[in-house]
Amino acid sequence: MRPERPSDHVQALSRGLRVLAHVHQAAAPVAVRDVSEAVGLNVSTVHHLVNTLVWEGYLLRGRDRRLVPGRTFTPAGAGASPAVSRALGRAAYAADDVAVLCRLEGGEAYIAEAAGVPGAASAGHYPAGARDLAHLLATGRVMLALGPETALADTRALARERREIFDEESIRADLARIREQRFATLLGDAHACVAAPVFGPDGTCTASVAIVVAPQRMRRDLDRLVAVGRSAGYALTNALAGEEPTA
């Protein structure tokens, strides 16, 4: 039996939680109008609630404007092991910005954990749980290049389902370069990153790490950032295997 509504019940918070719950329980990214119909609120109200939840990082909005879950609450110490957190933290401090550990799931790359130095230029832009199609991200392309062959097929199918551009010839050429050089880069208007592979015990790429910095830093310091990324990938490979990362 549901408890009686408290006298100090906050309607806006209640509505926001209904929106949040629906997006987190959805099997696929959802549009604002779909959320409106599902939770029984008008589109304008849901739009305002969504904007707040996106700004706070609890929801993420993709390129197609559809919504997916953002960060979630976990008890202190839950999730990644201390060794993984230390390895990410060291990478963030070495780059003086942000480092993220990413994994692959059904054609999407998602952030499993992130670490950043205080006041990092990229802080707040890469919350745990953020995800996008793997071929659109440097971290995703590293996993597509060095991970299982089926990952590319999953990404292709999901891209077509979402009507995203998937230039197979160009992507395969880029993946071949990544396999040869063992890292990937992405240079955007506001952020840039260097991504390196993280390997499992069987030598398969099971994750990737990205060193995120301002674009101008990557332009002038690419070689050093590649070295930081590779070192972080090695440390995380050891950490995920239950070993202490080497200094």
CATH number, domain containing residue 25: 1.10.10.10
In the chain, the number of structural domains is 2
Tell me what the mean pLDDT of segment 162-173 comes to: 95
Domain extent, residue 27, equals 11-69
Domain membership flag for residue 16:
yes
Domain membership flag for residue 210:
yes
Q: What percent of the chain has pLDDT over 90?
A: 54
**Judgement on whether residues 41 and 94 belong to the same structural domain of the protein:** no
Higher pLDDT, residue 69 or 208 = 208
Domain membership flag for residue 247:
no
**Judgement on whether residues 140 and 203 belong to the same structural domain of the protein:** yes
- Distance in angstroms (rounded) separating the CA atoms of residues 190 and 116: 17
pLDDT in tens, 47-102: 889 888 877 667 777 667 788 776 544 333 345 678 888 899 999 999 999 999 99
Domain harbouring 187, CATH code: 3.30.450.40
Question: What's the pLDDT at 148?
Answer: 87
**Judgement on whether residues 152 and 108 belong to the same structural domain of the protein:** yes
Is the pLDDT score of 3 beyond 60?
Answer: no
Domain membership flag for residue 76:
no
Is this model's pTM higher than 0.75 or not? no
- Distance in angstroms (rounded) separating the CA atoms of residues 83 and 236: 8
Domain boundary among 69, 94, 118: 69
**Judgement on whether residues 201 and 174 belong to the same structural domain of the protein:** yes
Q: How confident is the model at residue 5 (pLDDT cuts 50, 70, 90)?
A: low
Considering only 137-141, 197-201, 238-242, which range has the smallest mean pLDDT?
238-242
**Judgement on whether residues 100 and 222 belong to the same structural domain of the protein:** yes
Question: What's the pLDDT at 74?
Answer: 39
The first and second tokens of residue 183, run together, are 């890292």
Domain boundary among 69, 94, 110: 69
Terminal-residue alpha carbon distance, the chain: 55
**Judgement on whether residues 52 and 116 belong to the same structural domain of the protein:** no
**Judgement on whether residues 174 and 231 belong to the same structural domain of the protein:** yes
Interacting residues of 132 by C-beta distance below 8 A, sequence separation 6+: 62, 63, 108, 109, 140
pLDDT in tens, 109-160: 999 999 888 778 887 788 888 889 999 999 999 999 999 889 999 999 999 9
**Judgement on whether residues 86 and 123 belong to the same structural domain of the protein:** yes
Phi, psi of 178 (to 5 degrees): -65, -40
**Judgement on whether residues 126 and 230 belong to the same structural domain of the protein:** yes
**Judgement on whether residues 88 and 38 belong to the same structural domain of the protein:** no
**Mean pLDDT, rounded, of the chain:** 86
Question: What's the pLDDT at 204?
Answer: 86
Domain membership flag for residue 3:
no
**Judgement on whether residues 27 and 125 belong to the same structural domain of the protein:** no
Question: What's the pLDDT at 58?
Answer: 75
**Judgement on whether residues 94 and 56 belong to the same structural domain of the protein:** no
C-alpha closest to that of 182 among 166, 205, 216: 205
Question: What's the pLDDT at 195?
Answer: 98
